[in-house]
């Protein structure tokens, strides 16, 4: 992940991170352009939403759907 300085646009270094809520962190950053800028600032990082569910969730969903089907249909779908 790349963070840029909001003042000069140079690459910034994440010096520390504080979790402020579930899936929300504050990133303490320092501008790498120390000669001309040297700003330090805080940026927020937050989880927004999944594009694809985690594999475990997909497997659990499939298992739950299969368990609602008759035994013969379950075997047919899993190729047995």
Given the rule CB under 5 A, which residues bind Zn ion? 5, 7-8, 10, 31, 33, 37, 39
Nearer to Zn ion, 8 or 27 (CB): 8
Residue 3 beta carbon to Zn ion: minimum distance, rounded to whole angstroms: 11
For residue 6, the SS3 value is coil
Q: What are the Cα distances from residue 50, in Å, to 2, 22, 26, 54, 55?
A: 21, 15, 21, 8, 12
Of 27 and 37, nearer to Zn ion (C-beta) is 37
CB closer to Zn ion out of 33 and 74:
33
- Sequence-ordered list of residues with C-beta below 8 angstroms from that of 41, at least 6 positions apart, any chain: 5, 6, 12, 29, 31
CB of 15 to Zn ion, least distance (A): 14
């Amino acid at each position: 992940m790349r963070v840029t300085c909001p003042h000069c646009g140079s690459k910034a270094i994440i010096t520390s991170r504080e979790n402020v809520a579930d899936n929300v962190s504050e990133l303490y950053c320092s501008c790498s352009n120390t000669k001309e800028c040297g700003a330090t600032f805080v940026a927020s990082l937050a989880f927004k939403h999944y594009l694809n569910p985690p594999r475990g969730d997909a497997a659990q969903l499939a298992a739950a759907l299969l368990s609602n089907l008759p035994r013969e249909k379950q075997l047919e779908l899993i190729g047995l």
